[in-house]
Structure 1
Amino acid sequence: MYKLLIIDDEPIIRQGLRSIIDWERYDIRLCGEADNGIDGLRLCGELAPDLVIIDVKMPGLDGLEVIEEARAMGLVCDFIVLSGYSEFSYAQKATEFGVRSYLLKPVEQEDLVKRVDMLRKEWEMRKKERERQDESIRLLMERKLHSLFRMGSEHEMSEEEYGLLAAGLKLPWSSYQVLLIGDERRELEMSEREWILSRLLGSCSPDDRAAVFSYQRVVGILAEALDGESLWNPCFLDGDDQLGLELVYAIGPRVLKLEQIPHSFRKAYDEMARKFFCSRSDRLIVPLDDASCLDADPASFRIEICADETAKAVASGDTEAISVRLKEAESVMLKGEWSEERVKASFAALYNELVKNLKGVDESIQSVCPLLHEVIEGIERQPTLAAVREYMEEQLLPLVDRWSKERKPASFMNILHYIAQHYSSDLKLETLAELFHYNRSYLGKLFKSQTGDPFNTYLHRVRIEKAKQKLAAGAKVYETADAVGYASVDYFHIKFKEYTGETPSAYADKWRYKAD
C-alpha cells in the first residue's frame, strides 16, 4: 500500500482528513501525523511517505519550508498543500518544489478525492514505467551474465564489457558467488522460472549487491558473498509446493575476481546437472565424495551376482548383508558415473532377478513380494541415488520377516537328515527339490555352498561311509552295494575305490584280519 503522512497544527483538521475519504479504497494507509513543521520534516525522513498533506501555516517550520527541506534531503513524494483563502497566493510558491496540488480550507471531500485519484493514477504509471525499466536492465544484465558464464575461467574482459557490468551491478564487489535454483525431479518450465524470478526480485532490496537471472532451465543469483555468511536464505523457495515444485539449489565456490565468476557458475551448474548423485542438506545439493563409497570395483560388478547374493541374504535373514549388498551397488554406480536412467533400470533388474532366485527356493514367495511394476514405479519416484538404494532396502528388509512367517519349507539341515535316512533310495536332486519345495537349480547351488560338494558327490560320500560301516561289520560286498543304493556291484566297486583308495573287498578283508 501507499503511505500517507498528515502535517497540520489543527487537531480537527487532522481528524477530518483521517475520515473524509476511504483511504484503503485507494490502496493508501495513514503512516503518521505531526502537529508542527519540525516533527513533520523528521517523519518525512523516517517514514518515506508517498503522499504528504501539509498545512502552509504551522509553528516551527511552515509548510513551504518543510517541502523545501524535504526536497533538499532527496525525498521523493507528492504533497497536497492546504491553505486558507488569504494564504493561497503564498502557497502557490510551492510550485518551485514541484508541488501541483492545492486545497483551500475547509477541505471539500470531492476536491480531495479528485486530487487523490489523479495522484493514484500517476503512481501506477510511474510504477509500471519503473518495472519496465527494471526489467529492461535485468534482461540486459542477464545477457551480459550469459556471455560471462560462457567465457573461460580466466577470460580477460574488455573495457566495454566491464563497464556495462560495473554500471548494472555497482561493481566492484569484494567477492562473487553463484547460486542456481532448479526442480528436484525435472526441468523448470518458463512460467515456473518466471515465478521464481519474481520471488527473488521481491526479496532483493536496491542496496543488495545481487543480480537475478534465468539460464536455460534454471534460475540463478549472482551475489556478493561475505565470509561467514550464507549466500542466501532459502526461505524464498517456500510456497513452491503450490505449483507442484520441489525446488533445490546449488552453490558455486566464492571467487575474488570478476573473471572467475564462470568457475563459480560452472561448479554450481555441474552440481545441479548431477543432483541425482548428490545428497541434500535441507534444499541444498551437497556433492558426495569417494569417502562415502564402499570399496567396490565397477569393472567386476554384475547385477546378477549382486541379486543372487542379496537373495541369499533375504533367505537367511541377514539384514546387514542386504544393506551391504545394496550399498555396494550404490558405490559402483557412483564411482562409475552411471546415468540416472541406467541406475534406475539396474535396480529394477536387480529386484526382478532377486525375486526369481527367491522363487527358486519357494514358488509361494511370489505372494509376499511387492509386484515388479510397483517397485519400478517406486524407483522412478526417487530423486537421488541414495533415495533409490534406501527405497530398495525398505522393500527388502520387511521381506525377511514376511519370508519367515509365510514360508514353511524345511531347512537345509532337514534335507541332509532326509538323505541320511534315505540314502539307499533312488535319490535325485529333482526329487529332493520337489519334495522340499526348492527350485532344482537353486538347490544345487545351495548344496555346493553349504557342503562344499555338488549334490551327487555329497550323496556318494554318504553312501560310501555307510558302505564302510557295513563292510566293517562283516557284510558281503554285493549285499553292501544294494544296501547303500548301488544297483550295479561293478559301479559300487568304482565309486568305493574313488572315495577310499581301495576296493570294497580289500577294505572288508582288512577289517576281517583285525577281528581275527
Structure 2
Amino acid sequence: MRYKVLLIDDEPGALEGMQLWIDWDRLGFDVCGTSGNGADGLNKIRELKPDLVVTDIHMPLLDGLEMIDAWQKEGDRNVMFAIVSGYSEFEYARRAMRHGITHFLLKPVDQEEAEKELEAAYRELCREREKQRITRIAAREETVTLVKKAALNEPLSSDELDVLGRLSAAKEAWNFCLVQCDPPVYARMREIAAAVLRDREAMYLVDIGTHSFGIVYGVTPSKGAENESLQVLEQLSEAYSPYRVFMSAGLEARSLTQLERCLQTAKEAIRYNFYDSGYGRIRKYESVQARSCQYHYDQVRLIDRMTGALNVLDAAGFCEAVASAAESFRQAMVEPETVKNTVIHLMYQMMDHLSELGDERSKRVLDEYHPFLFGLSEAVIHLGDLMDCLLVCGNDAIELLSREQALKSQGIIQEINEYIRAHFREPLTIRKLAELFYLHPVYLGQLLIRKNGIGFNELVHNFRIEEAAVLLKEGRLKNSEIAESVGYANYGQFLKHFEKRMGMSPNEFKAKN
C-alpha cells in the first residue's frame, strides 16, 4: 500500500532537505507536491488529495495550525497531519494535539528519528484505511440486504423505506439484471461479477437463487450509452459469453422500492435466451414483452417420429427428426421446460435400450449421459446445444444397438424367413417386417440378400407362386381365386409372376398336371 504525502514549509532549504534526506519510497510514500505557506498548502490539499501532510508551524499568510483548523472545518476527506516543530514550541504542539495530531518531527530534522515517526504514521494510515474499508463493506452489505428485500417484495420498515428513497435519488432510474448460470460455472461467474462490481457506485450484487444472482444498477437515461452501469454490464456480458450463462434486464423503475417489478420482468425475459444462438447476451424485457411462450404444446408427433427412427436404427432419419423438432420448437416458441422434458423423456428411452445390452461399451455411454440427464432440468442451455446433445446421444445409441443387432442377426434370419413363409399371403412390406424385428429396412434387405441370395420381394413372390402351384394341382379353385388367396389383389400381377417363375401360364400348368 502506498500513500501520497504533501510537504509544506516556508524555508526552501527545509523543503529540499526533507525530500532528499528521507527515503520516502522505502517508507511507502510518494511526494505528490510541496508548498511554501499555509494558504497555498490548503489549496494543494484540496487539489492533490494527499493522505499525509507534513507541515511547519510558522509560515506566512496562514500558519500550520490555522491551515489544519481550516481544513478540518471544510474538508470532505480525512487527512493525517504531522507537525514539524522545535523544542521551544511546546505550546504549539499542545494546540496541535487538540486537533488530533500525534506525529511530530523535531527541527532540525534528524533523518533516523524522522523516518521512525513516519513509519508509525504509515502504520496508522494502514490501520485507518482498513477500518474505512471494513466500514464501507458493512455499509454496502446493509444496502445490499435492503435492496434484496425490495426485489423479493419482503416487508420493509418505514426507516428502511426512507433509506431506499435516499439511495434512489443517486440515479434517475433503477433496474435488475438477472444472471442464471449453469451449476458447474456458478461460483466462477459470481466471483467475476463480485470483482467487477466491487466499490462500484449504484451497482449491487444480490443473491436470489441456488444458481442465480442479480445485479441491481442505477442509470441516468439522459446520458444514454455513456452510463457507467450499462458499460459494466456489457463488460460482464462479454466475459460470460464463453460460458453457459443467461442474462436479462427487466423494466426500469424510478425507485429502488419498485425493484420487484424489475425482477419479475427480468424473469419473464430470461426464458427467451433459450432460443438464442449464444450465451452471455443481455435480453431486455422490452424486446419480448409482446411475445409469449407456449406452455401447452402437442409434441407427440415429434416424439413418435424420433422414436420411430430409433426403433429401426435409422441414423439419418433420426437426424432429420431432431432437426425438424428443433425448428418446430423454435417457430412455436415452446416453453423451455417443456422442450427440456421432451428431451429428457427421449434420452431416458435411449438409456433404457442401452441398459438392456449390458456390455462394457454401453455401460460407458450410460455413465457419460446419466449425469447430464440428472442435471438437465436445472441446466442453462440453449435450444441448439440441447438438440445437439440429443442427436449425439441418439447416434451413440443407434451405433451400439446396431452392433448388437448385427451380432444377433446371424441367428435371426431363419426366424424372419419363417415369418415371411407364414405371412406371405398378407400385404407384407419390408418396413413392416423391419419394425417387427427391430431392424433398419435397408439393413434387413441387405441381410436377406446376403443370407438367401434373393431380395425380400423375390422371396415373397416365390412363396406365393409355390403355394399357387399346389392349389392349381388340386383344381378346386378358379385361377382368380387362387391369385387372391396367395396374396395378389391384381390377377395380372399374379399371371406375370407365375409365368416368370414357371415358364408357362396357370392354365398350361393345370393342363400338364
TM-score, length-scaled by structure 1: 0.63
Q: 2:216 aligns with which of 210, 219, 222?
A: 222
Q: Corresponding residue for 2:104?
A: 102
Aligned to 1:494: 481
With over 3 angstroms needed to count, the CA separation of the structure-2 counterparts of 1:100 and 1:308, relative to structure 1, is same
Counterpart AA for 2:280: R
Provide Cα deviations, 1:275-327, integer angstroms capped at 9, x if missing partner. Answer: 99464765346499798999994253463532324677954579555522455
SS of the residue aligned with 1:33? strand
1:2–1:50: 8 Å Cα contact kept in structure 2?
A: no
Distance 1:23 1:49, change over 3 A: same
Aligned partner of 1:51 in structure 2 is: 52
Aligned to 2:323: 323
In 2: Cα distance, 1:323 partner to 1:233 partner: 37
Alignment of 1:49-448 (within 5 A): 49-57=50-58, 63-64=64-65, 66-71=67-72, 72-84=74-86, 93-95=95-97, 97-151=99-153, 160-167=159-166, 169=167, 171=169, 173-181=171-179, 183-185=181-183, 199=195, 202-204=198-200, 208-215=201-208, 217=210, 218-227=212-221, 228-229=224-225, 231=230, 233-234=232-233, 235=235, 249-269=247-267, 277=274, 279=276, 282-284=279-281, 286=283, 297-298=297-298, 300-301=300-301, 303-309=303-309, 314-316=314-316, 322-328=322-328, 334-335=334-335, 337-338=337-338, 342=341, 345-349=344-348, 351-352=350-351, 371-377=365-371, 383-386=380-383, 387-394=385-392, 441-442=437-438
User: Is 1:3 equivalent to 2:3 in the alignment?
Assistant: yes
| CA distances 1:461-516 after superposition (whole Å, capped 9, x unpaired) | 9569x97xxxxxxxxxxx99339x999766875341462369989x97999xxxxx
Shift of 1:30: 0.5
Q: Cα–Cα, structure 1 residues 14 and 120, in superposed 2: closer, same or farther, change >3 Å?
A: same
Write the deviation string for residues 241-263 of structure 1: whole angstroms up to 9, x where unpaired.
Answer: xxxx9766443221234553211
Identity %: 18
Aligned counterparts of 1:371 and 1:13: Cα–Cα separation in 2: 78
Query: Any conservation in 1 of the 2:278–2:382 contact (CA below 8 Å)?
Result: no
2:36 aligned partner, one-letter code: N
Report how far residue 165 of structure 1 moved. Answer: 1.9
**Following the alignment from structure 2 to structure 1, what is the Cα–Cα distance between the partners of residues 322 and 207?**
44
Is the contact made by 2:82 and 2:105 (CA closer than 8 Å) also made in structure 1? yes
CA, structure 1 residues 35+164, in 2 after alignment: closer, same or farther (shift >3 Å)? closer
Report if aligned partners of 1:41, 1:66 keep a CA contact under 8 Å in 2. Answer: yes
1:311 touches 1:354 (CA, 8 Å); kept in 2? no
Distance in 1 separating the partners of 2:209 and 2:316: 51
Aligned partner letter, 1:283: G
Partner of 1:412: none
Gaps of 5+ in 2: 408-416, 445-454, 499-503, 509-513
1:151 counterpart letter in structure 2: N
1:95-138 per-position Cα deviation (integer Å, ceiling 9, x unaligned): 56543332112323454345334434544444454445444444
Cα gap change, 1:225 to 1:138, in 2 (>3 Å): same
Taking a change above 3 Å as real, the CA distance of residues 352 and 307 of structure 1, as seen in their structure-2 partners, is: farther
- The amino acid across from 2:195 in the alignment is R
User: What amino acid sits opposite 1:82 in the alignment?
Assistant: V
AA aligned opposite 2:33: E
Q: CA deviation at 1:23?
A: 5.1
Question: CA 1:149–1:352 in 2, change beyond 3 Å: closer, same or farther?
Answer: same
SS in 2 for 1:499: coil
SS in 2 for 1:176: strand
- The TM-score normalised by the length of structure 2 is 0.63
Mean Cα deviation higher: 11-20 or 395-404: 395-404
CA distance in 2, matches of 1:378, 1:463: 51
Structure 2: how far apart are the matches of 1:188 and 1:343?
25
Q: 2: distance between equivalents of 1:149 and 1:383? A: 23
Query: Quick check: 1:80–1:101 contact (8 Å CA) kept in 2?
Result: yes
- In the TM superposition, residue 77 of structure 1 has moved relative to its aligned partner by 0.2
| Deviation sequence 1:197-236 (CA, Å, 0-9, x none) | 86366241xxx23444444545433222233446461456
Counterpart Cα distance in 2 of 1:318 and 1:300: 15
Counterpart AA for 1:209: A
Determine helix, strand or coil for the equivalent of 1:177: strand
Shift in alpha-carbon separation, 1:46–1:171, aligned structure 2, 3 A: same
- 3-state SS of the aligned residue for 2:306? helix
In structure 1, the gaps of 5 or more residues are 360-365, 410-421, 449-455, 468-478, 512-516
**Letter in structure 2 aligned against 1:233:** V
Matched residues in 2 for 1:3 and 1:252: separation? 42
| 1:392 CA drift (Å) | 3.2
- Hey, what's the Cα distance between the residues in 2 that align with 1:311 and 1:254? 52
Q: Deviations over 1:6-48 (max 9, x none)?
A: 32453675454566356556xx331513253466444422332
2:468 pairs with 473, 476, 481, which one? 481
Q: The residue matched to 2:489 in structure 1 has which SS?
A: helix
Amino acid in structure 1 at the alignment position of 2:381: T
CA shift, 1:78, in A, is: 0.8
> What's the CA shift for 1:351?
4.2
Per the alignment, residue 447 of structure 2 pairs with: none
CA contact (8 A) 1:41 1:70 kept: yes
CA–CA distance in structure 2, aligned partners of residues 150 and 198 of structure 1: 20
| Matched residue type, 2:45 | C
Output the amino acid matched with 2:348.
A
Distance 1:238 1:315 in 2: 37
What amino acid is aligned across from residue 254 of structure 1 in structure 2? E
